[in-house]
Chains A and B, each alone.
Chain A
Amino acid sequence: MHRIYINPLPVRIWHWINAVSCVMLALSGIQIRYVGLIDVVPFRIAVAVHNWIGFVVVANFFLWLLFYLFSDRIRVYHPELNPIKLFRECLRQAVYYGYGIFKGAANPFRLSKYRKFNPLQSLTYQIVMLVLLPIQCATGILLWDLTRFSRVVEFLGGVRVVDTVHVVIFIVFVFYIPFHAYLASLGRTPMEHYKSMFTGYEEVDDEEDAGPVI
């Protein structure tokens, strides 16, 4: 067993700011959308909180983007371009989560410095970070000042279309976040991956860091 530096400081800062912000955005968003059903915070305050935290998430996204653009760590986000290989790897990981894990089988994924996401994780994060989050940030900014961005909003089909996209992605995140938190507990110990996101280090078997096992 040895430790590898898997989560650099900028990634950890980004992750926890993003985690706390996304939870607060979800809660304030639910309050904004469901006034009358949920009345914990006045609508106006919920909107102000949602707007401010939204900008934090946008700024934080650029922190993440700049770090990876100017770091060799960007390799963790390199997509698998061979669809057959991608499908086979994803299927194997899904079989592990859906069956093997119950029998106590070993995780088919081997962690390394430049390969810290399993195939399913990698695919999911690529969709979340490169598609859903940018669209969510963009639609959030449009909804923040609809008059300023009226031409763009009109081009996209109107405020109802933009809001629907924003809400649909929010719903996807509502589905994704509990899974994300739960799957993070499926390490060697339930807290292993959580601790790693604080310390930056994760323990791996000596043969694990040798490279990916396909």
Chain B
Amino acid sequence: MARLSGGKVRRRLLSMGMIGPAIAIVLLAVAGMTGRASAGADDEKCLACHGSAGMEKQLANGEMLSLHISGDTFAKSVHGMLGCAGCHSDIDLAKHPSANNAITSKRAFSIARAQVCGGCHSDKFDQWKQSVHAALVREGNPLAPICTSCHSPHAVMKGAAATMDTVPCKACHGDIFTAYAGSVHGVLRNAGITRAPLCFSCHGAHDVKVPSAGAGMKNVCFGCHTDAIAKHEKWLPNTELHFDVVACQACHAPKAHRTVELVLYDNTAHKNASRPIGVPEFESPTGSNGSERPGLNPATLFTLLRTLNRPGVENKTSIKGRLDVSTGAEAHALAPGSEAISDCSTCHRKGAQAFQSVTISVAGPSGIPIHYGVNKNVLSSAFSIGSIGGFYAIGGTRITFLDVLLVLALLGGFGGPALHLAVRWAYRRYLNRTHHDERKG
């Protein structure tokens, strides 16, 4: 967590009409400089009650909110220098504790208190507001993290969230963290190599984006692996195209199940299109594994694209495609480079595992993609020549109808001359025999 300079703290506190607490902070800071980590006089008043173990309050919804603060822990925390009033300036001691129970729930209280964090950490708070976490909070997701979900406000220590043991992400993303811990990144980080990434190195600490929202994550990989393009160009044809349509982890997590993520794209707005209305296949989303049910079939998808690109709005909507892995956990099970998939035939063959699962996503509320199931046959159907023009893997998604045409061409190309030759031979024998009979007769 970023630490504010003394001047910045002073300006902020003055602007909040908190001259008294500010003086207390200065005093505490001086105390801190002399090596004493203890609560100030005003804080002692707070801790007289809140220092009691087991102190709690029943909220309107019946939840019990712990009101106990460990004075020593708080004093040692980065917030200790601010004192209680630094964040709780809204408390009027004359009316405290209030008889009214204004707090409806722990969640509501945490969300409301996040504004206080934003008072000092405005840069981080603004980043968070742009994140997928904030979008989920706005959607009313009860598990979406807010400030206090990751940072214990009364015990936050500098750098506490930056180690494998303490990184808060794993509290919710446990399966992903386990996969990460066993990956080449996690093993190196655990071995003390701090250049190896931890969660926030790739996803950002506060401006966390939806990883599946596009090919943006590859640039994160390139942030460290600066020679990745040059290395791949030595052996990988159409390198840049592969980088555009194949997620890094699709090859670098060799044991993962791969899946094709189609995206309904609005070419006018240059973003994911919203959910088409009145299409039954877009009524209920699927899980990350598109094979759970048949979903959109090639003809439906073809008709959908024709409808969306009807006269007057031609070429408005298209389908982009990308090869990724099925789950977030698999995306983090990255192997050393030597174990990455480099055999082209893994994907460039009919029936390749990579093309057995297909989903299509549209932009959901707050920009979070919503995935729907798609029948895997869309990848090899002649209907898809126009509808999924932008995604094609030689061999792997080849069009079955063209295979039939090729067989017919081979039969006709070689069979036609062979038949002609046979008829010529038979006719010549017939003519020779007739001629012979005539001469004999």
Chain A residues near B (Cβ < 8 Å): 32-37, 39, 42-44, 47-48, 51, 97, 101-104, 145-147, 154, 157-161, 163-164, 167-168, 171-172, 174-179, 181-183
Contact = CB atoms under 8 A, between A and B. Distances in A.
Given A33-B394, A104-B431, A160 B348 contact: no
Contacts of B288: none
Consensus secondary structure, chain A interface: helix
A172 B395 CA distance: 19
A102 B424 contact: yes
28 contacts: A32-B348, A34-B350, A35-B344, A35-B349, A36-B350, A42-B345, A43-B345, A146-B238, A157-B385, A158-B389, A158-B391, A159-B391, A160-B389, A160-B390, A161-B385, A161-B389, A164-B399, A168-B402, A168-B405, A171-B402, A171-B409, A174-B410, A175-B412, A178-B413, A178-B416, A179-B416, A179-B417, A183-B417
B209 to A, nearest CB: 24
A158 B424 contact: no
B405 A160 contact: no
Contacts of A103: 427, 431
Contacts of B235: 44
B223 interface: no
Contacts of B385: 157, 160-161, 164
Interface of B: 235, 237-241, 244, 318, 344-345, 348-351, 384-386, 388-392, 394-395, 398-399, 402, 405-406, 409-410, 412-414, 416-417, 420-421, 423-424, 427-428, 431
Contacts of A172: 409
A166 B421 CA distance: 31
Given A102-B424, A147-B238, A33 B417 contact: no
Nearest to A44: B344
Contacts of B427: 102-103
B218 to A, nearest CB: 14
Nearest to A156: B389
A157 B389 contact: yes
Contacts of A174: 406, 409-410, 413
B394 A163 contact: yes
Given A157-B386, A158-B390, A160-B389, A36 B402 contact: no
A157 B409 CA distance: 26
Contacts of B413: 174-179
Contacts of B349: 35-36
B220 to A, nearest CB: 20
The 3 closest A-B pairs by CB, nearest first: A158-B389, A182-B417, A36-B349
A101 B424 contact: yes
A38 B205 CA distance: 49
Contacts of A161: 385-386, 389
Contact of B394 (A32, A42, A168): A32
A159 B390 contact: yes
Given A33-B394, A35-B349, 4 more contacts: A102-B428, A174-B406, A176-B413, A182-B421
